[in-house]
Amino acid sequence: MTSLASLAADLLAGRVRVIDLTQTLSPDFPTIVLPPEFGQCAPFRMETISRYDERGPGWYWNNITVGEHTGTHFDAPVHWVTGRDLPNNTTDTLAVQNLVAPACVIDCSGEAANNGDYLLTVPVIEAWEARHGKIPAGNWVLFRTDWSKRSGAAYANVLADGAHTPGPDAAAVQFLVDRGALGFGVETIGTDAGQAHLMNPMYPAHTLMHGAGRWGLQCLCNLDQLPATGALIIAPPLKILGGSGSPLRVLALVAA
Amino acid sequence: MRLAPPGPRDPLKLAAAPLMPPGGRSREAIGLAAAAARGRFMLQVCGECELVQYPPRAVCGGCLGVGLRWREVPAGGALLARTIIRISVDPYFRTLTPWSIGTVQLDCGPQVVAHLHGDVAGRVRMTLKLDKAGQGVMLALPEQDTPDMHDDPAWRALTADPRGRRVLVTDGRTALGQAMARGMLAAGARAVFVGIAEPWRPFDGAGLRMAGIEAVALDVTDQDSVHRMAASLGGRVEICVNTALHLRPAGVLALDLGEARAAMEVNYLGALRLAQALGPAMRGRAADGEYAAVAWVNLISAHALAAPGGFGGAAAAQAAALALAQSLRPALRPLRVVNALIGPIDDEWHQALPPPKLAPAAIAAAVVRALCDGVEDLAVGDIAQDILARWADNPAILVRDVPG
């Protein structure tokens, strides 16, 4: 039996569980807040085409509008100016071989759950590696903060000086790039910390990850159901021509 | 006679149907409605012999001249006879009897039949008001104000006073929405609700709460949010003031398409969603007691009529909003649809614009005044008034030479 056949058998038998890491796309899910003079990401909107009524007596369907970076979404390298000239940097040209990939989950929920300014640093990653081994190249690195257990205003956590949500500092991002991480995934609205505009470089997760051709996943949930290592992430964005990202369903396969 | 404050409604009693008085008029007579909508006392005057005409007609009753022009005329008059109608065959007036009408000798010439305010005797002040069918009718008021004169049933049937009513202000995040909410409260509204979109964004509602204003979740760009609001408030709002506006200066060629779409989403589609979701529920309660649902207020930039270059891109959504607002009138009667044209607001989006700019409180005060007086068409501030006057005079010249 091939390993793929045994995986199929494990899935059917429930020895491998499928975890949904996706937030529900709904009109009131927070979107990224930029200063009003910048272009804005459209929130999710849904209008009924027909619902078993005179517009279509036997069927129900909707038209939806959404930004590329609304809800649980994927960031392609072209999203950031540092990744603009890389090959295969858009949603339609990404290497599909990597859209199914293993993940390392760094659990900082104890520190970050009540600290919107918590930063993931190199010592924290090194401590994780001391317990679980060196982060292998080609892995997603998922930053568990339990932030997804918040909702509404507490989730967005926007104060007078902007959002206060956890994220990595610049050195930590560079460390992960050097390890060959496939990308960086978070539970918050951005891969960067809410106050990352004050860092140097600004927005290091975007600047350094995308500059190195790596990917981002945002607004994940259920990271608390993943093991530190061994989960397999399925995260293919919509194949949008020249797209910078897309909302998507993110699934994790874990051993039961 | 002082009107009792709103009391509990008998839940087992069938609500009075939203009936309307007879609405058929000749095209000439619609001039009365146009004048009434603006709160002006106008009649046709013959351009040749200066005879003031009533009722409206196609040719002069004195000289058969055809040059009849609508002009503001002196509003004084004397009551000649009073009739109290106790029985009517008209379903609408049957709900209002006893009802006073009278014959009035106008100082400007004609004798007219008018609705009478209860305190009228001898000399009168004539007004043109819009009835529930949206037609212009005459209401004779006492020459001098009398105590509690706005509690008179004839006055109340022909106006939309916020006092004792519950008001929805659809966007409470802006200075305009907050000024409107406070203005309605100051005018005696029994309750004021303000819509708050995207409740996850910071909003300091402490000041509004202290004033007794209640925040409700409402995002006019979200169909589901509008329906949830209507389900909650449709049975307990008597005046809706749509302050959800996306008004930002923008020319045509440099206009960002996302910005253009956002303006259309809020100003046109947002107003449409609101009207479809909340309009029928309010209309159904348009005769439900002394404090029945009474008015729908649209705020529209005067640039809907014609816009200078710097506003050309933003004007299309305003023109769409104006077209919708005009169509809402026949759709929502007997509710009164108030369309207020406004100039640029003194807000953060118009920082670079020189004065005159409109203070939000001035817009709120103008809307309250319009509701109290039964006015449906108004222009607030110098710029809107100038554009409207020049549009009425010669739109072809205006669009080639828009001020601002």
Same domain for B129 and B175: no
Q: Do B189 and B150 reside in the same domain of the chain?
A: no
Give residue A5's Cα distance to chain centre. Answer: 29
pLDDT tens digits, one per residue of B183-217: 999 999 999 999 999 999 999 888 898 899 999 99
Q: Is residue A49 in a domain?
A: no
Contacts of A164 in chain B (CB under 8 A): none
**Does A174 reside within a domain?**
yes
Domain count, chain A: 1
Considering the domain boundaries, does residue A84 fall inside one? Answer: yes
Chain B contact for A33, CB < 8 A? yes
pLDDT at B2 over 90: no
**Model confidence, pTM:** 0.94
Among A45, A153, A160, the residue with its CB nearest the CB of B200 is A153
Q: Write the burial class of residue B297 (CB in 10 Å: 0-12 exposed, 13-18 middle, 19+ buried).
A: buried
Q: Which of B134, B157, B180 is the last residue of a domain?
A: B157
Residue B376 lies in a domain: yes
In this structure, the answer to whether residues B368 and B222 fall within a common structural domain is yes
Q: Is the pLDDT confidence value at A168 over 90?
A: yes
Taking CA atoms, B277 is separated from B225, B234, B281, B366, in Å, by 10, 8, 8, 26
Express each pLDDT in B279-327 by its tens digit: 999 999 999 989 999 999 999 999 999 998 888 888 999 999 999 999 9
Query: Residue with structure tokens 């970050």?
Result: A112
Cross-chain residue pair B225–A27, CB shorter than 8 Å: yes
**Is residue B15, in this structure, part of any structural domain at all?**
no
- In the prediction, which pLDDT does B7 show? 86
Beta-sheet pairing, A251-255 with A16-20: antiparallel
What three-state secondary structure class fits B228? helix
Smallest CA–CA separation between B220 and chain A, in Å?
A: 11
Residue A58 lies in a domain: no
Is A54 contained in some domain?
no
Residues B84 and A87: their CA atoms lie apart, in Å, by: 87
Q: Specify the number of domains making up chain B.
A: 2
Query: Within 10 A of B72 (CB to CB), how many other CB atoms are there?
Result: 11
B119 shares its domain with B177: no
pLDDT surpasses 80 at B58: yes
Residue B170 and residue B153 share a domain: no
Do the chains contact at B198 and A153, CB–CB below 8 Å?
Answer: no
Q: Is the pLDDT of residue B14 over 70?
A: yes
B373 lies in which domain range? 166-398
Among the candidates B125, B157, B189, a domain finishes at B157
Query: Cis bond leading into B354, ω under 30°?
Result: no
Domain coverage including residue A81: 3-30+67-255
pLDDT over 70 (residue B404) = no
- B333 and B223, same structural domain? yes
A194-252 pLDDT tens trace: 999 999 999 999 999 999 999 999 999 999 999 999 999 999 999 999 999 999 999 99
Among B201, B224, B259, the residue with its CB nearest the CB of A33 is: B201
Domain boundary among B107, B124, B157: B157
- Both B263 and B358 in a single domain? yes
Q: For the domain that residue A171 is a member of, what is the CATH number?
A: 3.50.30.50
